[in-house]
Amino acid sequence: MINAAIFASGEGSNAENLINYFKNDSRIKIKLVITNKDDAGVIARAEKHKKTVQIISKEALHSYTDQIIDFLKTEKIDLIILAGFLLKIPEKLVKAFPEKIVNIHPSLLPLYGGSGMYGMNVHKAVINNKEKQSGITVHFVNEEYDKGKIILQEKVNLSEDETPQSLATKIHELEYKYYPLAVERLL
């Protein structure tokens, strides 16, 4: 049985989708949900599913990385799943979990990745550049932002009148379908 921790900063709809998907799975247990925001929507979603939630601020993530690693090891966490987690993972944490941290990014990396490229910022940039397609990328996390080995990509076509909001909806639909499948490949 693999123990997983989900890290999320915002609404947490992907986090909840993963929790639901793996609810009765004997291969993986979503043991913890970690967020850096004490008002993140993911907290209520995780508590609804009786998951332990830990709030780790941006400052703590960087100042207490060793203690966080110890905590994750004590909890026997084997896999870290980033689901809308918007902070850079400290190098020490990446090194403590090599190829055991996965992320979902709402574009076709290497396009529209890197610092500042998250959530709606990505969709606005895609639309401003009049792209015909966008999509999702699931990848391992390494020391460089959005540059780890790609596990899965799925594309979606943009319509003529696409808005950042409508694109976000399309992207979320892809994420709900494919992120659990990508995680499943790692089990």
Q: Out of 62, 105, 139, 172, which one is annotated catalytic?
A: 105
Rounded distance, CA 96 to CA 108, Å?
A: 27
**Which residue, 83 or 102, is less far from ligand GAR as judged by CB?**
83
For residue 131, give both structure tokens.
Answer: 């792209």
- Residue pair 33/54 in contact (Cβ under 8 Å)? The answer is yes
H or E segment to which residue 153 belongs: strand 150-157
Q: Which residue is nearest to ligand GAR (CB)?
A: 84
- We find the least distance from the C-beta atom of residue 74 to ligand GAR, in angstroms, to be 27
**Given the rule CB under 6 A, which residues bind ligand GAR?**
8, 10-14, 83-84, 104-106, 118-119, 122, 171-172, 175
Is residue 139 part of the annotated active site? The answer reads: no
**Which residue, 26 or 39, is less far from ligand GAR as judged by CB?**
39
For residue 41, give both structure tokens.
Answer: 């929507």
CA-CA distances (angstroms) from residue 81 to 35, 116, 128, 160? 12, 20, 30, 34
**Which residue, 3 or 13, is less far from ligand GAR as judged by CB?**
13
- We find the least distance from the C-beta atom of residue 148 to ligand GAR, in angstroms, to be 12
State whether residue 59 is helix, strand or coil. Answer: helix
Rounded distance, CA 101 to CA 165, Å?
A: 28
- We find the least distance from the C-beta atom of residue 106 to ligand GAR, in angstroms, to be 4
- We find the least distance from the C-beta atom of residue 58 to ligand GAR, in angstroms, to be 15
**Which residue, 28 or 141, is less far from ligand GAR as judged by CB?**
141
Measured CA angle at 96 (ends 93, 98), to 5 deg: 100
- Residues acting as catalytic residues: 105
